[in-house]
Chain A
Amino acid sequence: MSVDAATVRRIAHLARIAVADHEIEHLRGEINNMLAFVEQLNEVNVDGVEPTASVEDMKLKMRDDVVSDGNYAKRVLANAPATDDGFFQVPKVVE
């Protein structure tokens, strides 16, 4: 499997990463190298092997249903480029 220039542009756009035209070819090479490596891994027979979720023998920890956080709108908004009356302001997005 390999990707073409158009796919590289599409992946960049989906990830909202600005990529200049002269970078496309270089990135295409890098992505194809990675895909080739994954293809190599695919040759290993893993029938009956559970996908590894963690290398530690751990279970998902759960929290109790208790309100223990929040009520600091100022902190939440501290890094926002624009705010008004407790809201984030963003360039208008309308359906």
Chain B
Amino acid sequence: MKLLVCIKQVPDMESKFKIDTDGVWYDRGDLAWRMNEYDEYAVEQAVQVKEATGADLTVLCIGPDQVKETMKKALAMGCDRGVHIADDQSHRRDPFQIASLIAAFARDKGFDLIFTGMQSQDRGSGQVGVMAAELLGLPAVTTIVGFALAGNTITVKRELEGGVKATVEATLPALVTCQLGLNTPRYPTLPNIMKAKKKELLTVAAADLSPADALLNTVKLTFPEKKGGGVFLEGDVGEVADRLIRILKEKTSVLA
């Protein structure tokens, strides 16, 4: 069995973001980078399937050279090899273009199961996995919080609104997009980090995969307007507590 997991490198969401000079994306300098949180669950699930079945597991990541750092984490978690689709412009590409790159790489490779995160933390479109499946002609199930594989069949739980889950079945080959809480992503151990350095990391130029044309343009990137009227309390915690209690007495009925 052959498995593929697709990951993205994103900035730490606690970062102070600045708008880039082009006005359509954030400034990529001075940021701490990490694996998209949703993708950690995808990698963990793929590694669990590999461990249970002896499957071969490839991790794919699109972006500039720096994404290799994030790929090393996936390799240390247990992926067998990395495929880096080198693309300095990946942050400007829309979800359909990213999906077209994944599909161009995966086509004819015979992957039985493809894992992605359900969305990225920075763009949050939730489109790439499903679109890649469509382009590859595979069935896809989104937002999974439970996963079981028996023979050629996957039985997964989809997370719906209000805590309801749907149990869904599909036959391989298939693609699933992973939601937070699907499993507990492992921390790579030091020996596995060392081993990961020796694993194969293949680079393919994005241009060689003929990405599709963009369907979507970002007109501008802005900071949201603050609601206004919100009061900031700062300083000594005793004083902050007193002022907060005063406000609650004035503005709410909960201390009455």
Answer yes or no: are A and B bound together in one complex: no
- Residue positions of B touching A, CB distance < 8 A: none
